[in-house]
Chain A
Amino acid sequence: MESTATTELAAIVRRAQKGEESAQRELIGLYQHRVAGFVYAMTSRSDYVEDLSQQVFIKMVRAIDRLQAPAQFESWLFRLARNTCIDQLRRQKLRRIFLPFGEEHENIPEPPGAVDSEELDALRHALAQLRPQDRALLALVQEGRSHAEISEILNVSVAAVKARLHRAREHLREHYQPEHET
Protein backbone atom coordinates (compact mmCIF):
# COMPACT_ATOMS: atom_id res chain seq x y z
CA MET A 1 0.00 0.00 0.00
CA GLU A 2 2.78 2.34 1.07
CA SER A 3 4.89 1.47 -1.94
CA THR A 4 1.94 2.05 -4.31
CA ALA A 5 1.47 5.52 -2.86
CA THR A 6 5.20 6.17 -3.13
CA THR A 7 5.25 5.01 -6.76
CA GLU A 8 2.26 7.20 -7.58
CA LEU A 9 3.89 10.18 -5.89
CA ALA A 10 7.16 9.56 -7.76
CA ALA A 11 5.20 9.48 -11.04
CA ILE A 12 3.57 12.85 -10.24
CA VAL A 13 6.96 14.28 -9.28
CA ARG A 14 8.49 13.09 -12.57
CA ARG A 15 5.62 14.69 -14.52
CA ALA A 16 6.10 17.92 -12.56
CA GLN A 17 9.82 17.77 -13.35
CA LYS A 18 8.96 17.74 -17.05
CA GLY A 19 7.09 21.00 -16.48
CA GLU A 20 3.53 19.60 -16.51
CA GLU A 21 1.45 22.25 -14.80
CA SER A 22 -1.31 19.83 -13.81
CA ALA A 23 1.23 17.70 -11.92
CA GLN A 24 2.66 20.76 -10.19
CA ARG A 25 -0.86 21.77 -9.16
CA GLU A 26 -1.52 18.24 -7.91
CA LEU A 27 1.63 18.28 -5.77
CA ILE A 28 0.69 21.64 -4.27
CA GLY A 29 -2.82 20.35 -3.52
CA LEU A 30 -1.41 17.21 -1.91
CA TYR A 31 1.01 19.01 0.38
CA GLN A 32 -0.41 22.49 0.96
CA HIS A 33 -2.07 21.67 4.28
CA ARG A 34 0.94 19.84 5.68
CA VAL A 35 3.30 22.61 4.65
CA ALA A 36 0.93 25.24 6.05
CA GLY A 37 0.78 23.35 9.36
CA PHE A 38 4.56 23.14 9.45
CA VAL A 39 4.89 26.88 8.70
CA TYR A 40 2.43 27.70 11.49
CA ALA A 41 4.34 25.51 13.95
CA MET A 42 7.53 27.32 12.98
CA THR A 43 6.24 30.90 13.06
CA SER A 44 3.17 30.75 15.37
CA ARG A 45 1.66 33.38 13.09
CA SER A 46 -1.37 32.55 10.96
CA ASP A 47 -0.88 35.74 8.91
CA TYR A 48 2.48 34.37 7.71
CA VAL A 49 1.15 30.97 6.71
CA GLU A 50 -0.16 31.70 3.23
CA ASP A 51 2.74 33.92 2.21
CA LEU A 52 5.45 31.54 3.39
CA SER A 53 3.67 28.45 2.04
CA GLN A 54 3.44 30.23 -1.30
CA GLN A 55 7.18 30.93 -1.22
CA VAL A 56 7.88 27.27 -0.44
CA PHE A 57 5.81 26.02 -3.37
CA ILE A 58 7.21 28.58 -5.81
CA LYS A 59 10.70 27.40 -4.85
CA MET A 60 9.48 23.83 -5.27
CA VAL A 61 8.19 24.43 -8.83
CA ARG A 62 11.35 26.29 -9.82
CA ALA A 63 13.77 23.72 -8.44
CA ILE A 64 11.94 20.43 -8.89
CA ASP A 65 13.81 19.58 -12.09
CA ARG A 66 17.01 19.49 -10.02
CA LEU A 67 15.60 16.88 -7.60
CA GLN A 68 17.44 13.70 -8.51
CA ALA A 69 15.47 11.17 -6.47
CA PRO A 70 11.69 11.66 -6.86
CA ALA A 71 11.18 9.19 -4.00
CA GLN A 72 12.79 11.71 -1.64
CA PHE A 73 10.40 14.45 -2.65
CA GLU A 74 8.78 14.82 0.79
CA SER A 75 12.08 15.24 2.63
CA TRP A 76 13.21 17.69 0.01
CA LEU A 77 9.98 19.70 0.23
CA PHE A 78 10.16 19.95 4.02
CA ARG A 79 13.80 21.00 3.77
CA LEU A 80 12.62 23.86 1.54
CA ALA A 81 9.88 24.69 4.06
CA ARG A 82 12.30 24.62 6.99
CA ASN A 83 14.86 26.83 5.25
CA THR A 84 12.18 29.29 4.09
CA CYS A 85 10.80 29.64 7.62
CA ILE A 86 14.25 30.00 9.22
CA ASP A 87 15.15 32.69 6.64
CA GLN A 88 11.92 34.53 7.44
CA LEU A 89 12.58 34.37 11.20
CA ARG A 90 16.14 35.65 10.65
CA ARG A 91 14.86 38.53 8.51
CA GLN A 92 12.30 39.31 11.19
CA LYS A 93 15.05 39.41 13.82
CA LEU A 94 17.19 41.69 11.63
CA ARG A 95 14.24 43.98 10.97
CA ARG A 96 13.72 44.28 14.69
CA ILE A 97 17.25 45.67 15.02
CA PHE A 98 16.65 48.44 12.48
CA LEU A 99 13.01 49.29 13.14
CA PRO A 100 11.90 51.09 16.28
CA PHE A 101 9.20 48.50 16.98
CA GLY A 102 9.47 46.20 19.93
CA GLU A 103 8.99 42.46 19.83
CA GLU A 104 5.50 42.94 21.24
CA HIS A 105 4.50 44.83 18.08
CA GLU A 106 5.57 41.90 15.92
CA ASN A 107 4.03 39.21 18.09
CA ILE A 108 0.48 40.30 17.56
CA PRO A 109 -1.83 37.88 19.37
CA GLU A 110 -3.98 35.60 17.26
CA PRO A 111 -7.51 36.92 16.80
CA PRO A 112 -10.16 35.41 19.07
CA GLY A 113 -11.25 32.03 17.85
CA ALA A 114 -7.99 31.35 16.00
CA VAL A 115 -6.59 29.54 19.02
CA ASP A 116 -9.20 27.18 20.27
CA SER A 117 -7.71 25.79 23.44
CA GLU A 118 -5.43 26.67 26.31
CA GLU A 119 -3.20 23.72 25.52
CA LEU A 120 -2.73 24.87 21.96
CA ASP A 121 -1.99 28.37 23.16
CA ALA A 122 0.53 26.95 25.62
CA LEU A 123 2.17 24.93 22.87
CA ARG A 124 2.43 27.99 20.61
CA HIS A 125 3.84 29.99 23.50
CA ALA A 126 6.40 27.26 24.33
CA LEU A 127 7.46 26.89 20.69
CA ALA A 128 7.96 30.62 20.39
CA GLN A 129 10.54 30.43 23.19
CA LEU A 130 12.68 27.89 21.33
CA ARG A 131 15.38 28.51 18.75
CA PRO A 132 14.03 28.24 15.18
CA GLN A 133 16.26 25.20 14.58
CA ASP A 134 14.72 23.41 17.57
CA ARG A 135 11.22 24.37 16.49
CA ALA A 136 11.95 22.97 13.04
CA LEU A 137 13.23 19.74 14.54
CA LEU A 138 10.11 19.22 16.66
CA ALA A 139 7.80 20.20 13.81
CA LEU A 140 9.54 17.80 11.44
CA VAL A 141 9.07 14.96 13.92
CA GLN A 142 5.39 15.84 14.32
CA GLU A 143 5.14 15.96 10.54
CA GLY A 144 6.13 12.31 10.49
CA ARG A 145 9.73 12.58 9.28
CA SER A 146 11.97 9.78 10.51
CA HIS A 147 15.27 10.44 12.27
CA ALA A 148 17.11 9.31 9.13
CA GLU A 149 15.14 11.73 6.97
CA ILE A 150 15.72 14.59 9.42
CA SER A 151 19.44 13.80 9.43
CA GLU A 152 19.39 14.17 5.63
CA ILE A 153 17.40 17.40 5.83
CA LEU A 154 19.79 18.91 8.39
CA ASN A 155 22.96 17.31 6.99
CA VAL A 156 23.91 15.86 10.37
CA SER A 157 24.21 12.32 11.76
CA VAL A 158 21.23 10.40 13.13
CA ALA A 159 22.88 10.41 16.57
CA ALA A 160 23.12 14.21 16.42
CA VAL A 161 19.44 14.41 15.46
CA LYS A 162 18.50 12.28 18.46
CA ALA A 163 20.62 14.38 20.82
CA ARG A 164 19.23 17.66 19.48
CA LEU A 165 15.71 16.31 19.60
CA HIS A 166 16.13 15.29 23.21
CA ARG A 167 17.37 18.78 24.09
CA ALA A 168 14.58 20.45 22.10
CA ARG A 169 11.94 18.35 23.88
CA GLU A 170 13.44 19.25 27.25
CA HIS A 171 13.30 22.94 26.38
CA LEU A 172 9.75 22.63 25.13
CA ARG A 173 8.69 20.96 28.37
CA GLU A 174 10.38 23.72 30.36
CA HIS A 175 8.36 26.39 28.57
CA TYR A 176 5.15 24.43 28.21
CA GLN A 177 2.76 25.74 30.83
CA PRO A 178 -0.90 25.19 30.10
CA GLU A 179 -3.03 27.88 31.72
CA HIS A 180 -0.01 30.20 31.83
CA GLU A 181 -0.76 33.85 32.36
CA THR A 182 -0.05 35.81 29.20
Chain B
Amino acid sequence: MKPESHAWAELNRHAAAQLPRGFADRVLRQTRGPSPESWRALFSNGAQALRPGFAERVVRMTRIAADVPSVGSHLALSAATAAICLGAVLFLHDRSLERADARNIADWERIVELADDDATNV
Protein backbone atom coordinates (compact mmCIF):
# COMPACT_ATOMS: atom_id res chain seq x y z
CA MET B 1 0.00 0.00 0.00
CA LYS B 2 1.27 3.45 -0.95
CA PRO B 3 1.80 5.87 1.95
CA GLU B 4 -0.65 8.36 0.40
CA SER B 5 -3.31 5.65 0.13
CA HIS B 6 -2.92 5.01 3.80
CA ALA B 7 -3.24 8.76 4.47
CA TRP B 8 -6.39 8.93 2.33
CA ALA B 9 -7.90 6.00 4.17
CA GLU B 10 -7.10 7.67 7.49
CA LEU B 11 -8.62 10.91 6.29
CA ASN B 12 -11.80 9.14 5.19
CA ARG B 13 -12.01 7.27 8.49
CA HIS B 14 -11.58 10.52 10.41
CA ALA B 15 -14.22 12.31 8.29
CA ALA B 16 -16.66 9.42 8.70
CA ALA B 17 -16.15 9.52 12.46
CA GLN B 18 -17.36 13.13 12.46
CA LEU B 19 -20.80 12.13 11.19
CA PRO B 20 -23.33 11.44 13.91
CA ARG B 21 -25.18 8.16 14.15
CA GLY B 22 -28.29 8.03 11.95
CA PHE B 23 -26.82 10.54 9.54
CA ALA B 24 -28.45 9.00 6.46
CA ASP B 25 -31.89 8.91 8.08
CA ARG B 26 -31.54 12.49 9.14
CA VAL B 27 -30.55 13.63 5.65
CA LEU B 28 -33.47 11.74 4.13
CA ARG B 29 -35.92 13.15 6.67
CA GLN B 30 -34.65 16.65 6.05
CA THR B 31 -34.98 16.21 2.30
CA ARG B 32 -38.53 14.94 2.58
CA GLY B 33 -39.57 17.54 5.14
CA PRO B 34 -41.93 16.86 8.04
CA SER B 35 -43.95 13.67 7.73
CA PRO B 36 -47.76 13.65 7.73
CA GLU B 37 -47.52 11.97 11.16
CA SER B 38 -45.62 14.96 12.55
CA TRP B 39 -48.27 17.32 11.21
CA ARG B 40 -51.02 15.14 12.67
CA ALA B 41 -49.21 15.08 16.02
CA LEU B 42 -48.85 18.87 15.90
CA PHE B 43 -52.56 19.41 15.30
CA SER B 44 -53.48 16.80 17.88
CA ASN B 45 -51.23 18.48 20.50
CA GLY B 46 -53.08 21.72 19.85
CA ALA B 47 -56.45 20.04 20.22
CA GLN B 48 -55.35 18.53 23.55
CA ALA B 49 -54.59 21.99 24.90
CA LEU B 50 -58.32 22.76 25.15
CA ARG B 51 -59.83 22.16 28.56
CA PRO B 52 -63.08 20.18 28.78
CA GLY B 53 -66.25 22.26 28.48
CA PHE B 54 -64.69 24.62 25.95
CA ALA B 55 -67.83 25.04 23.80
CA GLU B 56 -69.94 25.82 26.84
CA ARG B 57 -67.44 28.44 28.00
CA VAL B 58 -67.36 30.13 24.60
CA VAL B 59 -71.18 30.29 24.40
CA ARG B 60 -71.27 31.77 27.92
CA MET B 61 -68.57 34.31 27.02
CA THR B 62 -70.50 35.29 23.88
CA ARG B 63 -73.63 35.82 25.97
CA ILE B 64 -71.70 38.00 28.45
CA ALA B 65 -70.06 39.90 25.60
CA ALA B 66 -73.50 40.54 24.08
CA ASP B 67 -74.75 42.00 27.38
CA VAL B 68 -71.76 44.31 27.75
CA PRO B 69 -72.35 47.60 25.84
CA SER B 70 -70.14 47.87 22.80
CA VAL B 71 -67.62 50.65 22.19
CA GLY B 72 -69.96 52.00 19.50
CA SER B 73 -72.88 52.26 21.92
CA HIS B 74 -70.60 53.97 24.48
CA LEU B 75 -69.58 56.50 21.84
CA ALA B 76 -73.19 57.05 20.75
CA LEU B 77 -74.25 57.64 24.37
CA SER B 78 -71.38 60.10 24.89
CA ALA B 79 -72.26 61.94 21.67
CA ALA B 80 -75.95 62.16 22.66
CA THR B 81 -75.04 63.47 26.15
CA ALA B 82 -72.70 66.06 24.67
CA ALA B 83 -75.38 67.18 22.18
CA ILE B 84 -77.99 67.53 24.95
CA CYS B 85 -75.55 69.52 27.13
CA LEU B 86 -74.63 71.79 24.20
CA GLY B 87 -78.34 72.32 23.40
CA ALA B 88 -79.07 73.19 27.04
CA VAL B 89 -76.13 75.63 27.22
CA LEU B 90 -77.17 77.34 23.96
CA PHE B 91 -80.80 77.53 25.14
CA LEU B 92 -79.86 79.06 28.53
CA HIS B 93 -77.43 81.44 26.88
CA ASP B 94 -80.13 82.56 24.45
CA ARG B 95 -82.63 83.02 27.29
CA SER B 96 -80.20 85.06 29.35
CA LEU B 97 -79.37 87.24 26.29
CA GLU B 98 -83.08 87.85 25.72
CA ARG B 99 -83.56 88.78 29.39
CA ALA B 100 -80.55 91.11 29.32
CA ASP B 101 -81.85 92.76 26.12
CA ALA B 102 -85.29 93.25 27.68
CA ARG B 103 -83.70 94.72 30.83
CA ASN B 104 -81.48 97.03 28.80
CA ILE B 105 -84.40 98.20 26.63
CA ALA B 106 -86.49 98.82 29.77
CA ASP B 107 -83.61 100.82 31.29
CA TRP B 108 -83.23 102.86 28.12
CA GLU B 109 -86.96 103.48 27.97
CA ARG B 110 -86.87 104.71 31.58
CA ILE B 111 -83.93 106.99 30.78
CA VAL B 112 -85.77 108.30 27.70
CA GLU B 113 -88.91 108.91 29.82
CA LEU B 114 -86.84 110.72 32.46
CA ALA B 115 -85.16 112.78 29.76
CA ASP B 116 -88.55 113.61 28.22
CA ASP B 117 -89.90 114.65 31.67
CA ASP B 118 -86.86 116.85 32.28
CA ALA B 119 -87.28 118.47 28.84
CA THR B 120 -90.98 119.14 29.52
CA ASN B 121 -90.25 120.70 32.95
CA VAL B 122 -87.61 122.96 31.50
Residues in A lying within 8 Å of B, measured CB to CB: 21, 24-25, 28-29, 32-34, 36-41, 46-47, 49-50, 53-54, 57-58, 61-62, 114-117, 119-120, 122-124, 126, 142-143, 169, 172-173, 176-179
Contacts and interface: CB of A to CB of B under 8 A. Distances in A.
A37 B35 contact: no
B77 interface: no
Nearest to A26: B55
Contacts of B49: 36, 40, 46-47, 49-50
B65 A33 contact: no
| Main SS at interface, chain A | helix
Q: Which of A34, A36, A116 has the most CB of B within 10 A?
A: A36
A176 B33 CA distance: 7
Interface residues of B, number: 31
Given A25-B59, A58-B65, A37 B42 contact: yes
B29 A173 contact: no
Given A41-B42, A41-B43, A119 B54 contact: no
B6 interface: no
Contacts of A123: 34, 38-39, 42
A125 B3 CA distance: 47
A178 B45 CA distance: 18
Contact of B45 (A61, A120, A143, A173): A120
Contacts of A178: 26, 29-30
9 contacts: A32-B55, A36-B50, A38-B43, A50-B51, A116-B41, A117-B41, A120-B41, A123-B42, A178-B29
B72 interface: no
B22 interface: yes
Nearest to A42: B46
A142 B43 contact: yes
Interface in B32-86: 33-35, 37-39, 41-47, 49-51, 54-59, 61-62, 65
Contacts of A53: 50, 54
B31 interface: yes
A173 B33 contact: yes
Contact of B54 (A28, A40, A61, A169): A28
Contact of A29 (B22, B42, B55): B55
Nearest to A45: B49
A166 to B, nearest CB: 12
Contacts of A143: 43
